[in-house]
Structure formats: C-alpha cells, structure tokens
Structure 1
C-alpha cells in the first residue's frame, strides 16, 4: 500500500507533526495531502511543498491514503469525520483529539474502521513529546508500526492495551507539562525570595529542570539513583529533600494532583 497520508487540520499540533515527518524524511511532500479550511494555515502547510486543500471534497478522487491523521478540535470532530467515510475501508485513522473515543470514530466511520487514538502532549510541537496510543482490533500490525514511525518524529511513543487507561495517561503525560511548568515557576519564586535577580532566577530554574530531565533521559541510572548521587549526607540537597520528601509530602501531593486530573478526564469522557 502506498504510504500516502492525509492530515486533517493543520493548526499548531498538525503543522508540527507535518514538519516533523518531512524533516525526518519519513515522508516526502508528494506523499502528504493537507485538508485545512483556514486560508493562512493552509498556505503555511503548502509552503512546505505538500498539497493543501480547503475541504475533503477537493482531495483527488483516486487518492488511497494509508493513514488519515485527524488533528481538529474535539468539538468539531462530529462535523468533520463523515466527509472521510469513503476512506474507512482502507485507511487507518489516527486521532490526536482529547476526549474523543474509538467508539465515536466507529460510530461516524463504521464498526470496521481501523482507529488509533493518541494522547500527545505539548512538547510534541518541538519533537520532544510523549505520545501514547490505543488501537482497535481493526488495525493491522504493519499499519500500527507505520503510524508509530510517524509519531516518533514528535517524541517518544508508548501504547496501552486498554482504552480506559487513556484517562490515566492524560493525567500523567498529557497534563504533566503543566505540572513541570508550575515547578519552574515555584523554583523561580524561591530563588527570587533568596535574593537572586528575577531574570537570573528564571534561567536557573528553567535550565536546572531542562538539564535534569535530559540527564535522566540519557542516563542508564534510575531517577532514584541519580537523586542519591546528588545528595551528600547532611549536605544542602539533603536539607532540601528532608522538606520535600519528609512524610512523603511531594509524593502525596503529586499523587493527589494526578488523581484529580484522572477523575476529571473520566468525567469529561462521559459528556
């Protein structure tokens, strides 16, 4: 099957994915068709050399895409999907929309449609994301591998076998960047309170979090081992960790936060 891809929606996330495919050489411009109704966004996509049209009816009649990646807002998904029913027998549909279930796609495209639901996070926009996938039983292994190849240009990819776990994923990696951003805010304010000039405090906080994350990702050691390596007995780090880890304060707070996000994700999925 030809490795042609239709990208439906080319806003910030869609455009970042498109650029990632082309920059990595996973796809050539001639293999991608973009459907984007907004003139400026469509022109931006066309600037990368791909074919860009305003709506699905303008796609070539003989087009047989292997993948249709849908990157539109959840609230318009029901209006968008019916135009792609003609591809449902042969294409694998990939969703990056939060809260849209596989059952919703099957209702709009047919129960035999091949669907992969994904939860990316915002760092995917710079190729540093975490993307988690769930696929229905109609997706062939070979097609799933091809989709993973596409997604890996935006970051790391993992999968879950139970769609209900997507809500937990949303609470951890989907919302997780906001938790880290808030930690950076808190570390910045603590530095200012300690007398450090704000611009320097911001640099210290951001670079420390960035460097620690990069070290954890590249090291063969676990985060626990890395923490222990930094912590000298009775030293400055130990004094700080006694506050953060005493009575499992941070662990309890983070667990409570993730649980709140998890429960809200479940509630939103019922709407």
Structure 2
C-alpha cells in the first residue's frame, strides 16, 4: 500500500508523522510532491520518505492519494492528475469548502473519494478530524483511512452537510483558543506574573479543562459549576464574562466562520 501526498505542508507533515508513529505503513511506502524542491528535500530528510518531481508521478504510483494543497489550487492539481486516477485508487481531500460533488466534477468522473477536515493540533498528535465518503468507498477503505486520521488525534465520521459546521467548531477553533490563552496570559502579566510563566499557566489550564470534558463525560456546565463556589472568585469572573457577551461572541464568531466556509 503506497500513500502519496500531493502537497507537503504542515498538515501533510502531521499526517506523515502520525502514520509512521503508528506503523500504518513504512516510510518506504510514502511518497510526496510539493511546489518546491526545497520543501521536498526537507520533508524527505525529516521522515525518510521518497519524493517525486511532479504531482502526476505521485498519482501514478500511489494507491491512496492525499490532496494536501490549499483549496485555490485544487482545480489546477486535479487537472494534472485526473488521467492517472482510476477506479482502484482512493483519493482523500483535506480542503475546506470543496464538497464531494465539486471534487468529482473537477475529476470529470466518479472516483473513490473521502473528504476530511483536520485541524492544526494534529501537529502535536491532538488533532480532531471529521470524515465523510462517497458511495464508492468501501467500509474497509474507510477503516484504513480512519486509521490514518486517528494516528494524530481523534476522528469521527459525519454527514457531509455538517462539514462547514466542523470547520467552525474544530477546524478554525484553535485560533480562538490561542486568543483566549493569550488574553488570560495578558491578564496574568498585568497582575505581575512573568510572560512565559503566564502562557504556561493559561495553556495548561485550558488543556486540563478540555481533558476533563472528554474524559469525565460531564456536561461543561456541570464542570463549570464545580469551580464556582457560592460568593467566590470564579463566579465573579463568570459574571463579567456573561456581562461582556462572552458566549454570544463565541457563537457569532463560529457562525461567521461557517458562513465564510460555505462561500469557498
């Protein structure tokens, strides 16, 4: 089984790292291509994979083709490889906003196609990936693809009509989390804490809180209430967040992200 990456950016590197860590295939069975020779050399040196000097060569040799380029390059890349993709090859897309129907139209034929929406925490093995497939993809092929996505975090199958929502709630949300961490750290710095230590405290607290939601199965509201003692400091802070429209701002931000994704 040869896995081919067209595009060797951060997300592709996260996927390659996960695949090798979990021994899904060996480095000899991963090939890739990129826009520059320098990128190919760097990724090859880091992971020991083979690279090719054209997207067509990757498509010709690979059994699974992962399209890891930005959405604006999809038309060009698919035009390059469409004649080399037959009914035996599995195509995986990580592009936001490009539906199964759109991608099939670009290929001008039916292909085995899986669409995924990963996020950047995949770079540290804590990704969250949504997955959907077309009717040509078998259960066995889907299971193999899921093993790839689960190698760098969690993965779940969703209906395609939820993919734009996924983009808002997980695809783009690391940016919101980073802003929250930065804001908490700024407040700690104002209170006299050194900047580096402030980031550590803020980030670890967010990490631990997320882990409590995932591992306890408790409702986030219940976990919040566990921290809020009557007449205490936390409920005073929560009151300010509510007065400033914290929840509404988050909801409006994610809605804007979803609406923008639909326009891609």
| Structure 2 equivalent of residue 186 of structure 1 | 183
Task: Tell me, yes or no, if structure 1 residue 129 matches structure 2 residue 127.
Answer: yes
Deviation at 1:57, TM superposition (A): 4.2
| Structure 1 equivalent of residue 138 of structure 2 | 140
State whether residues 88 and 109 of structure 1, in contact with CA within 8 Å, keep that contact through their aligned partners in structure 2. no
Select the residue among 40, 46, 65 that pairs with 1:42: 40
Instruction: Output aligned runs, 1:67-146, within 5 Å.
Output: 67-85=64-82, 86-146=84-144
Select the residue among 8, 12, 15 that pairs with 2:13: 15
Instruction: Output aligned runs, 1:217-228, within 5 Å.
Output: 217-228=214-225
Higher relative contact order (CA 8 A, sep 6+): 2
Where in structure 2 are there 5+ consecutive unaligned residues?
none
Deviates more, 1:176-185 or 1:235-244: 235-244
- Normalised by the length of structure 1, the TM-score is 0.88
Q: Distance in 2 between matches of 1:22 and 1:202?
A: 31
Backbone CA RMSD of aligned residues: 2.1
| Structure 2 equivalent of residue 262 of structure 1 | 258
Deviation at 1:123, TM superposition (A): 0.7
| Structure 2 equivalent of residue 253 of structure 1 | 249
Q: Distance in 1 between matches of 2:226 and 2:53?
A: 55
| Structure 2 equivalent of residue 238 of structure 1 | 235
- Normalised by the length of structure 2, the TM-score is 0.90
Deviation at 1:202, TM superposition (A): 2.6
Deviation at 1:232, TM superposition (A): 1.6
Deviation at 1:101, TM superposition (A): 2.2
Where in structure 1 are there 5+ consecutive unaligned residues?
none
Q: Distance in 2 between matches of 1:199 and 1:28?
A: 38
| Structure 2 equivalent of residue 53 of structure 1 | 52
Q: What SS does structure 2 have at the residue aligned with 1:164?
A: helix
Q: What SS does structure 1 have at the residue aligned with 2:109?
A: coil
Deviation at 1:201, TM superposition (A): 2.5
1:88 to 1:104, Cα distance in 2 relative to 1, 3 A: farther
Deviation at 1:18, TM superposition (A): 0.9
Q: Distance in 2 between matches of 1:140 and 1:232?
A: 52
